[in-house]
Amino acid sequence: MCNCNCEGPKSDLSKLDSVLSEYGDSSSNLITILQKAQNIYGYLPKDVIYYISEKLGVTPADIMGVATFYSQFRLTPIGKYLIMSCQGTACHVNGSERVLSAMKEYLGIESGETTADGLFTLEEVACLGCCSLAPVIMINGEAYGNLTPDSAVEVLKNIRQKEGK
């Protein structure tokens, strides 16, 4: 049962029960639980946070504190394709900023935002560890390296075409 009284879509909280029965015995597992919850829902919906709070005995404020501290956690839904634009040092010296601005311009969104059609979410990340392929972006786990502003936009265009949008 969720007591958050929030408006908006209700999440199917039963999906979380197996996670909570495995990790719910200790508040030290909070980060693991939030990671699993995000895997299930794609982000951390408000009612999910309240549900975890209730089951784990940690206040919603503390959970929000953790969820906003770590860059991995998202409080809003993401698009079908999550673009992680690497801004590590090696990518930086190889022009990642120009790649990022070209993608922003093409998608018409800023970092951390999702396109209106729900297809793409653009995120900046610290380092994907593929430094020798810099500049790199990763889309839903697949890495694209040695990019130029044009070739990065080309990758996005191909996805859009595949999706028929």
**Between 118 and 129, whose beta carbon lies closer to another protein?**
129
**Between 48 and 130, whose beta carbon lies closer to another protein?**
130
Q: What is the 3-state secondary structure (H, E, C) of 34-74?
A: HHHHHHHHCCCCHHHHHHHHHHHCCCHHHHHHHHHHCCCCC
Shortest Å distance, C-beta 125 to another protein: 7
Binding residues vs another protein (CB under 8 A): 26-32, 34-35, 65-66, 69-73, 87-90, 92-94, 98, 101, 105, 125-134, 136, 141, 143-145, 148-149
Shortest Å distance, C-beta 140 to another protein: 12
Shortest Å distance, C-beta 20 to another protein: 14
How many CB atoms are located within 10 Å of the residue 63 CB? 22
Strands (E), 76-155: 81-86, 120-125, 137-139, 142-144
How distant, in Å, are the alpha carbons of 31, 113, 121, 123, 129 from that of 88?
24, 20, 19, 13, 8
**Between 18 and 27, whose beta carbon lies closer to another protein?**
27
The residue among 43, 35, 34 whose CA lies nearest residue 11 is 43
Shortest Å distance, C-beta 99 to another protein: 12
**Between 6 and 89, whose beta carbon lies closer to another protein?**
89
